Amino acid sequence: MQDDLAADGTAAAPIVDPAHARPHATAEEYRSAVAQARRAAAAYYAGEQTLLDDAEYDALYARIVVSEREHPQWRADDSPTAVVGTPGGDIEHSTPMLSIGNVFDTEGLHDWAAKLDKALGRPVTRYTVEPKIDGLAIAVRYVEGRLTLIATRGDGYTGEDVTSQARLIAGLPTRLSAPVTIEIRGEVYMTDADFAMGCDLRLAHGEPVFANPRSAAAGSLRAQRVYDVPLSFMAYAATGLPDEHAHSHSTAIAHLAALGVATTAESSAGLTVCADIDEVTTAVAALGARRGDLGFGIDGVVIKADLAADQAQAGYSTRAPRWGIAHKFPADTRTTTLLRIDVQVGRTGVITPVAVLEPVQVGGVVVTSATLHNFADLQRRDVRAGDTVYVRRAGDVIPEITGAVHDARPADAEPYTPPVTCPRCGGDIDRSNQRWRCARGRACGEKATLLYFTSRDAMDIEGLGEKILDALLAAGHITDAADLYALDVPTLAAMDRLGTVSATNLVNSIAATKARPLSRVLTGLGIRMTGRTLSRRIARHFGTMDAILAAALAEWEQVDGIGTERAAVISAELAEVAPLIAKLAAHGVNMTEPTGPAAATDDTATAGSALPLRRPDGTPMTVVVTGSVPGLTRNQGNEAVEELGGKSSGSVSARTDFVVVGDGAGSKATKAADLGLPILDADKFAQLLTAHRAGDHDTATAILATVTPTPPR
């Protein structure tokens, strides 16, 4: 393996593209790499514990490719460049189940398209773009509409009979909607939810958790167990279709869906038909941006020439079709070393184990820590310091440890011992729920809670810093946020280094925050599973604190971004802090949102002017602000989006209406350019806000008219 380092000394992402890989120095190194690749592939296709993560395998494969290119005399008969999958089985495939070539960036995708155009002697008629499911390829035969055989890919020519496991696979009916004889090909995979359920089932039966969803699906398809692990299927091809359904890939997939089979077109990822390679590039970027929201794992996107005539003319190489290619994404599961397990105590007293990791690039981001969920889960999974662990990061979610490579465990690795008392205050721990919590709850972290309440993004109390809070807590003058509003000048002036003038200024500063909007109060309370953006959304939806406290769970679920689980947590948290809320209100702290609930649904602002960031149907545009906006903090920029009637988002995706780009913009601006999203300069955004507040509709409309799409990069 290449042992490359990033500029900061952390482990760099493995070089997975043969165009950038270096060859092996000797034939012996090459043969060793081939043997390692074959062992890893055997474990991969068998669904056993992963020997190499995807990025490591792709990097190994890339070096084998470039070594064979420069030293063709070295090429081994069992090279992974010549052999697909693993040794076959007893079932001979009707046509070979070949692999598919890979590209790793837009340049590689355009190069492939140019070669395909050259092979055809003309441009490709059109393309399809669909998810590359991270699962196990199978062939499924139906005779007169009845399922008769399921076979694994095997070596591409013969596979293993796994028909007995058909009952486990959702999306693969035992009888089609028409009595046709057909062979369907696709992927057996495990959804994120089913992977979690499968791990729980394994643990309940005394077995180690799965390494990842892909190996879980492959192993479960072959295993005969006393319990059933749920699997899913998605079709991507078929043979034996009638001519009227076989003239293109897109029509073939549509026909399979009509027969009752789950297909890539019906999935949350969808199948996109594109007129040219530029549209393909946009579709690939859009699917990559949604990768973490699909509910199942994909490791790339598959691009195909749509028309059967184009496919037939392009033909095949020895191991892959020339008319199709996979655009691989950065691996979202990697292996690294768990250095130690730390314990964090949150503002609300929740105690969480956190993995400190040897830095590793996962999904294009350097990860140094990851969540271990809770102590019960940590002990069930038997993860220890020193272990080689699987780190998963799908999309923009928080990295998590999904398991450990127990065969690689150091001999001196000790089982983890959870804390017996709260690490912060030394008090008792409430273990009645999966997520442990200090028995003192919020009182355990009163300082952290108060710092958050007084911070710029919450109540923004000027002049009240950490040292003054420490002194107030030590003197017993305050125990919660409401006590701040009871402070007077004599009390503060008697404290060290304050005096009458400073005390008077601080009392006035605290009193001024009583007029802050409800959304700021909600933010300052630090309710679990909320944040600044969601607190604003809640405040604008309900309008008053009384309405919030009286809301039933069903009403909570009407707020954008709040589902059943989050609604229950937020409701319980609010009930817990209700006495504090009452105490704040008694001190005169505002408990209403100035714009009221109408701001979330009406097309007019409080002054009666139209909201610029509303669509004609009244729904809000999704806007991302990146970089600095003149005259506004980052949080105020997001608040401005909502004041203008839009929905502020922290991540760029194909569903983003436009991106506000200011000085210091980083990866979000780059991603917006890659997706070809509309861009608005931050100066113009500030002018838009000013015009809206002045009721100058014409100027606001003219500014929005300058928001134009940028060509994808």
Question: Is residue 395's pLDDT more than 60?
Answer: no
Q: For residue 442, how many C-alpha atoms fall within 13 Å in the half-sphere facing its CB?
A: 19
- Please report the domains of the chain, with CATH numbers, ordered by start residue: 1-83 (1.10.287.610), 91-328 (3.30.470.30), 333-436 (2.40.50.140), 441-515 (1.10.150.20), 518-599 (1.10.150.20), 606-709 (3.40.50.10190)
What is the residue-averaged pLDDT of the chain?
A: 85
Cβ count near 613 (within 10 Å): 23
Helix (H), strand (E) counts: the chain? 23, 24
**pLDDT tens digits, 482-538:** 999 999 999 999 888 788 999 999 999 999 999 999 999 999 998 877 888 889 889
In the numeric block, the tokens 């602002």 are attached to 605
> Is 100 labeled as ligand-binding?
yes
User: If you average pLDDT over residues 602-606, what whole number do you get?
Assistant: 34
Q: Round to whole Å and give the CA distance between 459 and 137.
A: 55
pLDDT computed for residue 46 by the predictor: 60
Please pick, among 118, 132, 447, 583, the residue that the annotation labels catalytic: 132
pLDDT computed for residue 606 by the predictor: 36
Helix boundaries (H) for 480-543: 489-493, 499-512, 518-525, 532-542
**pLDDT tens digits, 607-661:** 334 788 888 877 888 899 988 888 887 778 888 888 888 888 877 877 889 999 9
Model confidence at 84, in pLDDT bands (50, 70, 90)?
Answer: low
Are residues 130 and 264 in contact, defined by beta-carbon separation less than 8 angstroms? yes
Question: Looking at per-residue confidence, does 394 or 151 come out higher?
Answer: 151
> Is 99 labeled as ligand-binding?
yes
Question: Is residue 548's pLDDT more than 70?
Answer: yes
Q: Round to whole Å and give the CA distance between 342 and 416.
A: 11
Are residues 185 and 140 in contact, defined by beta-carbon separation less than 8 angstroms? yes
Q: What are the C-alpha distances in Å from 446 to residues 256, 450, 467, 523, 599?
A: 59, 6, 14, 16, 34
pLDDT computed for residue 638 by the predictor: 83
Question: Is residue 421's pLDDT more than 50?
Answer: yes
Model confidence at 394, in pLDDT bands (50, 70, 90)?
Answer: low
**pLDDT tens digits, 9-64:** 445 567 777 777 888 999 999 999 888 888 887 776 665 566 677 778 888 888 98
Model confidence at 85, in pLDDT bands (50, 70, 90)?
Answer: low
pLDDT computed for residue 83 by the predictor: 67
> Is 304 labeled as ligand-binding?
yes
Say what percent of the chain tops pLDDT 70: 92
Question: Is residue 561's pLDDT more than 80?
Answer: no
Are residues 140 and 186 in contact, defined by beta-carbon separation less than 8 angstroms? yes
Question: Is residue 582's pLDDT more than 90?
Answer: yes
Model confidence at 434, in pLDDT bands (50, 70, 90)?
Answer: confident
The helix, strand and coil proportions of the chain, stated in percent and rounded to the nearest 5, come to: 40, 20, 40
Are residues 511 and 491 in contact, defined by beta-carbon separation less than 8 angstroms? no
Q: Round to whole Å and give the CA distance between 176 and 27.
A: 52
- Catalytic residue check, 684: no
**DSSP state letters, 44-64:** HHHT-S-SS-HHHHHHHHHHH
The pTM score is: 0.58
| Across 543-547, 625-629, 657-661, 664-668, least confident range | 664-668
Reference 407, options 435, 388, 428, 426; nearest CA is: 388
> Is 92 labeled as ligand-binding?
no
pLDDT computed for residue 337 by the predictor: 93
Question: Is residue 3's pLDDT more than 50?
Answer: no
> Is 56 labeled as ligand-binding?
yes
Are residues 113 and 277 in contact, defined by beta-carbon separation less than 8 angstroms? yes
708: three-class secondary structure by DSSP? strand
Question: Is residue 141's pLDDT more than 80?
Answer: yes
